[in-house]
Structure 1
């Protein structure tokens, strides 16, 4: 087991964490994410303890530091599991070791989930609650702490993690989204909630990084909403032109379905290279037919009761649309679990 610690402009708390883990016999790797000359003495102290340090020439963000560390570990210590921990003292050694113990038991990504009890900064409490809600809405999976940096990665899952795109803090959310979509198991264990000095040491930029973290989920919801609006407008126009409810419903669904499939495949799920388009289209078509039948049944029933067409459309399709979201994510565009990208052949040297 290797504890991977990304650090950008750290303070003495990094040394305290390193010393505590060293006393417990943990092996570590620290990545200096372009902190600059002023912080070199701290990293020299880490090196003097026999702990390797990788230096980034410039600040690449947390994603860049973690990718570099994971790539190095996979090359130098193949077969070793990894636990990622922040350098600011918010992850206690006993929690790091607890995540490591669970990670060693299987092939699941293990999260150290904070309970957010006690004195938690408002921006952290609200941000995590919002992120948690949207993640569950987009994936159907419950994760209490989607933004935790304490994660256990089995050695077999390092290629899967490295295959995920994204930068800075958004990358950690992308990993959860990707694993959920590919049905790779995710476990969560409770850890202590620690915020020091009002979380002043965090390099998380509330507005900019929150938008980046939520971008994958927002893309999913935006495309689905746009397709739904297109379906409603097309239904109304076709019904006015033809006077045939069934024909109008089928035509509107075909049009919105083609647009939805293309955007979900290329823009939302980024699945253009992850599966055969014919298989994806066939699965999408089966789901679309089932949703069309359910939606039309509800639409016919509501209009028979005298509900205006547009209102009936919104109510009927709203009831079945959530199921369509989940089926597209988990079935139509699911990536194969056995198709991660290969690790880079070259291992970065210590600098």
Structure 2
């Protein structure tokens, strides 16, 4: 089984100069690919010094774009993705590889509470995990972890879905679940990152939620449309009861809520049928 390690990096030279030698000492991968996402530091010099493959972006395209570039360039049967900021421990790679050898298509390094950057981000990640678990119908332990091993062929099936920003772990995890591929988690410890984080919590947090809804509507529309439809319907019933008791009549607002509830449900039902047809075409 041929392994390719892919490291998206933007101005991560300080951590790469120690991370790359550590990876080479392990001798687990046939190639190490650093995707230089428009760095302004000496990342290129470090790649040349340690004789690793560099994929150079002339300007910053985003973490997801770097991951896609690395996946296209890699020649391995299994792709190992890890951050270039020094948080992920090279010795944990064997845990991911063991999962792949056991038959899983994606193995994700799951961080514990101590591994979160701060309390706020830990709370947000917990929320994302619960939402994703609902959408997929499977337990999602760490939706946003960037440390993972994947089957190369199956991962490339979803490259067109992956955004160019920081939401690639979210999208790839949900896509694997909904496509029926096997996903597993292994516990990992993370170190303090070297340098400044490129993540923008508010902007990228909203983006993570939008990605969850995007995948939900693509693979399981009724799980999103039915709760909305039911909520509007119940609100209409409550308002009708109120107006009937206080005014003795059925109002236009109640009629509007009932109609909206029906329309939302029908849109979800049609979306579900379209999704089923899409899978039927893919499998034929």
TM-score normalised by the chain length of structure 2: 0.78
Where is the strand percentage greater, Structure 1 or Structure 2?
Answer: 2
Deviation at 1:203, TM superposition (A): 1.1
Higher mean C-alpha deviation, range 217-226 or range 111-120: 217-226
> Which residue of structure 2 aligns with residue 317 of structure 1?
none
> Which of 204, 212, 221 matches 2:207?
212
The answer to whether structure 1 residue 137 and structure 2 residue 122 are counterparts is no
The answer to whether structure 1 residue 203 and structure 2 residue 198 are counterparts is yes
Number of aligned residue pairs: 259
> Which residue of structure 2 aligns with residue 43 of structure 1?
44
The answer to whether structure 1 residue 52 and structure 2 residue 56 are counterparts is no
> Which residue of structure 2 aligns with residue 32 of structure 1?
36
For residues 63 and 195 of structure 1, what CA distance do their matches in structure 2 show?
A: 22
> Which residue of structure 2 aligns with residue 115 of structure 1?
112
> Which of 130, 146, 149 matches 1:152?
149
For residues 186 and 101 of structure 1, what CA distance do their matches in structure 2 show?
A: 13
> Which residue of structure 1 aligns with residue 168 of structure 2?
171
For residues 281 and 65 of structure 2, what CA distance do their matches in structure 1 show?
A: 24
> Which of 70, 73, 93 matches 2:90?
93
For residues 109 and 66 of structure 1, what CA distance do their matches in structure 2 show?
A: 15
Contact 1:234 1:252 in 2 (8 A): no
Deviation at 1:232, TM superposition (A): 4.0
Deviation at 1:147, TM superposition (A): 0.9
Higher mean C-alpha deviation, range 226-235 or range 111-120: 226-235
> Which residue of structure 2 aligns with residue 347 of structure 1?
none
In structure 1, stretches of 5+ residues that fail to align are: 243-249, 266-270, 278-334, 340-351
In structure 2, stretches of 5+ residues that fail to align are: 217-222, 251-257
Deviation at 1:162, TM superposition (A): 1.6
Deviation at 1:187, TM superposition (A): 0.5
> Which of 252, 259, 270 matches 2:267?
259
> Which residue of structure 1 aligns with residue 64 of structure 2?
63
1:31-65 per-position Cα deviation (integer Å, ceiling 9, x unaligned): 001113xx1x2321212221010101111111100
For residues 170 and 30 of structure 1, what CA distance do their matches in structure 2 show?
A: 19
Deviation at 1:130, TM superposition (A): 1.6
For residues 238 and 188 of structure 2, what CA distance do their matches in structure 1 show?
A: 53
For residues 119 and 155 of structure 1, what CA distance do their matches in structure 2 show?
A: 28
For residues 119 and 260 of structure 1, what CA distance do their matches in structure 2 show?
A: 36
Which structure has the greater CA radius of gyration? 1
> Which residue of structure 2 aligns with residue 14 of structure 1?
16
Contact 1:90 1:196 in 2 (8 A): yes
